[in-house]
Structure 1
Amino acid sequence: MTEGSRGQTLELYFVGGKPDGMLTAEVFNWTGHLLVTPRTQITEAMRRREAQYTGVYLLFGEQDGADLAYIGEGEDMSDRIKSHEAKKDWWTKVILVTSQANTLNKAHIKYLESRLVEEAKSIGRIALENGNTPARPSLKEAERSNMEGFLDYLLMVLPAIGVDAFKQNKRPKLTREDMREAPSPVFELITRRHGLHAHAIIEDGEFVVMEGSTARDNWSGRGTEHTSYAKLHKDMMDNGVLVREGHFCRFTQNFAFASPSAAGAVVNGRPTNGTIEWKVEGSGKTYKDWEAERLAHADGGHV
């Protein structure tokens, strides 16, 4: 956790008592409200009061085997969703984003729609059915600030409910001196057979592989071509995070992974036990051994 950050409380309510069904999401001290529903429950969802509120909505699904999304807005979102239900076959889930007291106006939601499209396109995790990015409406300075604050909370909540389309994995460029001063040691993964050498640190609980690290230029794990790590490797190449250079790829930016194994799999182009293959730079100490030492020295104090 970075200095100055603080914990937040996310409240999820499973409307029908099932985690894969309709749910609502709210954060303490935030005015926003999310209604998430699978398409199979769209009739029940449209009967809810918040479905008639002013807000933005996000459709998710897939087309031709690729993930697809659409971002829109409406003063009565149920009307828009009913139209999409009749005209769009590909989506399987919708998220309605409103304020708890229905205080968003047309300019607010047009601003949020534009910013969400901008964010999704800049991150490039998912294809958008939206054509051009909508123009931002003219808002007073205070209103823009309020909407950016609203957006900050929304972008925090979406990954927590399983929506990664707006999750930014890119991290600021770090110098070697920055890496030395980081609380985490520098880890390295060397695969001599393929001439690979990658460096990483732990930052804010994520395993960040450094710009300039090298990786395989193809996924070689037989029988694992359809796993999440194989898809991640492909997405990173498609999005320019990994760029071919000779017989391998190079990281064009610092990139955060959820675990050492995810990072190791992308570097090696195959399933990898990252806790063993990543080692503290300049030593034979594995990530697993380093982690065990830290746990052994933990004093058991309460947070």
Structure 2
Amino acid sequence: MAHGKSIKLFLTDGSPNGILTAEIINWTGHVLSAPRTKLSELIQREECARTGVYFLVGHDPENSLPSVYIGESDDVANRLKQHNRTEESGGKDFWEKVCLVTGKDQNITKTHIKYLESRLIEIAKRGGQCQLINGTSHQYNRLPESDTADMEYFLEQIQVVLPVLGYEFLKEMKKLSQKTQTMATTVSSEITEETEFYLATKDTNASAKVIDGEFYVLAGSQVRREVTDTRHTYTKNLRPQLFENNIINSDTYTFNQDYLFSSPSAAGGVILGRASNGRKDWRQVGTNITYGQWLENQVDSVELKEEL
């Protein structure tokens, strides 16, 4: 059974576009988020003098995925000052927002942070939800078993908090059936989960699941080779990025891994190579009703309480 979490958000200057802090009750971590325009104020905060891991995030209008750099430092304030310089001076131009994660106490050490940085880069690469700017990555496993367990828990909380602040690039597929996924008509006779859907045409064959309210296309899903609408944002920007990141195999035109999409329409657009109405194009396995009808049924099945 899933349990709720209490996340405390604080707008330090009363503006949603300013510096935000975030905490989870009974978690030793502390999160700061700010636009680059507020960097001069951010680096004056005491949290920025601690050991921490940070994310630089930018959005290019030509790309569907955000650009992200993941780093760590014993003194994040000085590191962010370096990143704020021009490219010619050794800085980074692409980013517009920064997010910093530190500990509330002194128990988070340089070794812990280097481990977290390594795991965060690994997750961001595997998830394919961003264009990772980091030139190199490394595996860092120099932690005792107990510390590794603590940092994995710490990492899970980061993955809970960041999407609340609008940072979606660390989301992972966590709950998949272990059976081999079968596509097209054969899949409907073998898989009966209510949250599984398919999209099948003469040259596409894809399966997807709705998990925790999010839409995942499953590994092995077939993508149409021809693109007939190059103006659409998902075919113009997102589809090429998924090929570039090897989420979709450029030889077989199939998904190498499960992939989280922002919507069924985004998934349909990438798979079909044209604009897609995901509510109509995706159908539920077993019932053959559309995704839109399935959503409607979920609401219609709820019995509302009558007011006394």
TM-score normalized by structure 1? 0.82
> What SS does the aligned partner of 2:32 have?
strand
8 Å Cα contact 1:169-1:257 kept in structure 2? no
1:88 aligned to which of 86, 91, 113: 91
Further displaced range: 73-82 or 135-144: 135-144
State the alpha-carbon separation in 2 of the partners of residues 203 and 127 from structure 1: 24
The answer (yes or no) to whether the contact 1:196–1:215 under 8 Å persists in 2 is yes
- Return 5+ residue gaps in structure 1 as ranges: none
Amino acid at match of 2:48: A
CA-atom RMSD in angstroms: 3.1
Q: Deviations over 1:90-146 (max 9, x none)?
A: 132221111123432222222222222232333344344434324526222211111
- Give 1:196 deviation, angstroms: 2.0
Paired position in structure 1 for 2:256: 252
> Could you tell me how far 1:55 is from its partner in structure 2?
1.2
Query: Residue in 2 aligned with 1:300?
Result: 304
Distance 1:148 1:188, change over 3 A: closer
2:268 alignment partner in structure 1: 264
User: Could you say what secondary structure the match of 1:250 adopts?
Assistant: coil
For the residue of structure 1 that corresponds to 2:170, the secondary structure is: coil
- Secondary structure class of the residue paired with 2:96: strand
Structure 2 CA distance for partners of 1:211 and 1:108, relative to 1, 3 Å: closer
SS of aligned partner of 1:184: coil
Out of 236, 247, 269, the position equivalent to 2:242 is: 236
- Paired residue type of 2:242: M
**1:110 — aligned with what?**
114
Identity %: 36
SS in 2 for 1:155: helix
CA contact (8 A) 1:280 1:287 kept: yes
Structure 2 CA distance for aligned equivalents of residues 29 and 301 of structure 1: 35
Q: Which residue of 40, 44, 58 corresponds with 2:41? A: 44
Contact preservation (8 Å) 1:171, 1:254:
no
1:191 to 178, 201, 225: 201
- 1:251 counterpart SS class: coil
Tell me how far apart the structure 2 counterparts of residues 276 and 268 of structure 1 sit (CA, whole Å).
13
Tell me which residue corresponds to 1:205.
213
Contact 2:62–2:237 (8 Å) recurs in 1: no
Q: 1: distance between equivalents of 2:61 and 2:282?
A: 37
Quote the Cα distance in structure 1 between the aligned partners of 2:263 and 2:299: 17
Aligned in 2, Cα 1:156/1:217: closer, same or farther, shift over 3 Å?
Answer: farther
Out of 123-132 and 196-205, give the one that drifted further.
Answer: 123-132
* Count of paired positions: 293
Q: Report the Cα offset of residue 44 of structure 1.
A: 0.7
Residues 230 and 266, structure 1, Cα contact 8 Å, conserved in 2: no
Deviates more, 1:208-217 or 1:167-176: 167-176
The C-alpha deviation readout for 1:36-59, integer Å capped at 9, x for no partner, is 111111111111121112211222
Kindly indicate whether the alpha-carbon contact (under 8 Å) linking 1:170 and 1:253 is maintained by their aligned counterparts in 2.
no
Q: How does 1:1-303 map to 2 (within 5 A)?
A: 4-61=1-58, 67-86=66-85, 87-90=90-93, 91-136=95-140, 138-169=142-173, 172=176, 174-175=179-180, 180=190, 183-184=193-194, 186-192=196-202, 195-217=203-225, 219-224=227-232, 227=233, 230-244=236-250, 249-281=253-285, 285-300=289-304
- 2-side partners of 1:63 and 1:100: how far apart? 34
Instruction: Please list every run of 5 or more consecutive structure 2 residues that lacks an aligned counterpart in the other structure.
Output: none
What is the Cα deviation at residue 228 of structure 1? Answer: 5.4
Residue aligned with 1:33, SS? strand
Structure with bigger strand share is 1
Higher mean Cα deviation, 64-73 or 101-110? 64-73
